[in-house]
């Protein structure tokens, strides 16, 4: 199923939750809405599911407007943050509840369909268990089975992992991803966790204050953030602003940053213009690179295979991630030289 949002806005009184959101999700795609708390992710999902009506704009399924179509008639499966299983029903009854508006697909009986789904979510034989006797991850897989029971054309997942601990979250997201691609069901996933979004999605939309900042593949939004917001929200980034001092004959510009001149290839801007660009921490290397900076180490954080350093460079703080070989430690307060190549610089709006 192809999903489209065409300039969807949602206002509550004077508050704007969504401001002209346009998105297009392809058949079978795993599409993620990511952004900070309050950016409008859940509201977007609720407009798609039909729990809310847009104030303006239109939601379309396979080019058909969903205006006035109630949630149960949309053929959508939804999994919420809190598992929302019925405690007085067995696991099997909870999954069968997903079939209350629809017959099981493929001519199966209800019991056969329930067994098939429990197998799909790696809970074969759990029919008679109480939801309370299951772990959080297992409960969430039951909720997923229930949402998938009627064979929906669209699966909506609203922060389904947020109540789980980190290790379980990673395992569940791999399972969800596997099930999604096995079924080929168009999926919209909501998370505030950008690393989760990068890990599972075919494409992501980064939302901020009810607006779409960027839509792209995980690699595109990571390596080529369109805006400063995306640069800072997706992964860690050093965002720097400097003034163009001169233009290079080879294309590119020289930007003044603190007391340093930094050459930026492939950047087109006029002398005197302000340029904002970002540099990933992993692109800053110790004592090498075309552009060199010296800073004071103000924070170190051991992360296992890497160490994350904060450098103060004349009042500008930079994050640097360096490989950790197990014996060398960087002293707080010491001076450190780091450098970067022009090609790792990415200019943002």
The residues that touch ligand ATP, with contacts defined as CB under 6 A, are 12, 15, 17, 35, 37-43, 192
Minimum distance from residue 191 beta carbon to ligand ATP (Å): 9
CB-nearer residue toward ligand ATP: 116 or 158: 158
Helix axes 110-120, 136-148, angle to 10 degrees: 130
Minimum distance from residue 47 beta carbon to ligand ATP (Å): 9
Helix, strand counts (H, E) of the chain: 8, 20
Minimum distance from residue 209 beta carbon to ligand ATP (Å): 8
| CA gap 32, 48 in Å, rounded | 13
CB-nearer residue toward ligand ATP: 21 or 336: 21
CB-nearer residue toward ligand ATP: 92 or 210: 210
Minimum distance from residue 158 beta carbon to ligand ATP (Å): 8
Q: Which ranges of 191-333 would DSSP assign to H, the alpha helix?
A: 194-200, 218-223, 228-233
CB-nearer residue toward ligand ATP: 227 or 276: 227
Minimum distance from residue 159 beta carbon to ligand ATP (Å): 7
Nearest Cα neighbor of 185 from 75, 32, 27 is: 27
Q: Are 220 and 226 in contact (CB under 8 A)?
A: no
> Pairing between strand 335-340 and 285-286?
antiparallel
Cβ count near 294 (within 10 Å): 13
CB-nearer residue toward ligand ATP: 15 or 270: 15
Minimum distance from residue 214 beta carbon to ligand ATP (Å): 16
Residue 163 CA, distance from chain mean position: 17
Question: φ, ψ for residue 136 (rounded to 5)?
Answer: -55, -45
Minimum distance from residue 81 beta carbon to ligand ATP (Å): 8
Q: Are 237 and 247 in contact (CB under 8 A)?
A: no
79, exposed or middle or buried, with CB in 10 Å at 0-12, 13-18, 19+?
buried
């Amino acid at each position: 199923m192809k999903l489209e949002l065409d300039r969807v806005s949602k206002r509550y009184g004077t508050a704007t939750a969504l401001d002209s959101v346009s998105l297009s999700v392809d058949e079978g795609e795993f599409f993620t809405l990511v952004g900070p708390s309050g950016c409008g992710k859940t509201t977007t999902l609720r407009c798609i599911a039909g729990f809310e009506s847009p104030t303006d704009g239109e939601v379309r399924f396979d080019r058909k407007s969903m205006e006035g179509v109630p949630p149960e008639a949309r053929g959508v499966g939804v999994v919420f943050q809190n598992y929302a299983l019925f405690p007085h029903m067995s696991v099997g009854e909870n999954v069968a509840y997903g079939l209350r508006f629809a017959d099981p697909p493929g001519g199966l009986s209800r019991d056969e369909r329930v067994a098939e789904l429990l197998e799909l979510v790696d809970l074969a034989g759990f029919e008679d268990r109480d939801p309370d006797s299951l772990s959080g991850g297992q409960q969430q897989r039951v909720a997923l089975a229930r949402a998938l029971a009627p064979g929906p054309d669209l699966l909506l997942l609203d922060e389904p992992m947020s109540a789980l601990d980190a290790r379980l979250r990673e395992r569940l997201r791999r399972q969800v991803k596997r099930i999604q691609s096995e079924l080929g069901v168009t999926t919209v996933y909501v998370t505030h966790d950008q690393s989760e979004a990068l890990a599972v999605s075919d494409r992501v939309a980064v939302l901020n204050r009810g607006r779409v900042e960027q839509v792209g593949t995980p690699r595109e939004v990571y390596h080529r953030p369109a805006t400063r917001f995306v640069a800072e929200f997706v992964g860690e980034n050093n965002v720097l602003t400097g003034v163009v001092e001169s233009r290079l004959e080879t294309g590119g510009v020289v930007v003044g940053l603190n007391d340093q001149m930094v050459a930026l290839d492939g950047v087109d801007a006029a002398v005197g213009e302000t340029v904002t660009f970002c540099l990933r921490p992993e692109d800053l290397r110790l004592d090498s690179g075309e552009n060199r900076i010296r800073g004071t180490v103000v924070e170190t954080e051991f992360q296992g295979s890497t160490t994350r350093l904060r450098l103060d460079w004349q009042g500008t703080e930079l994050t640097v991630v360096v490989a950790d070989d197990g014996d060398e430690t960087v002293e707080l307060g010491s001076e450190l030289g780091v450098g970067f190549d022009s090609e790792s610089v990415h200019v943002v709006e």
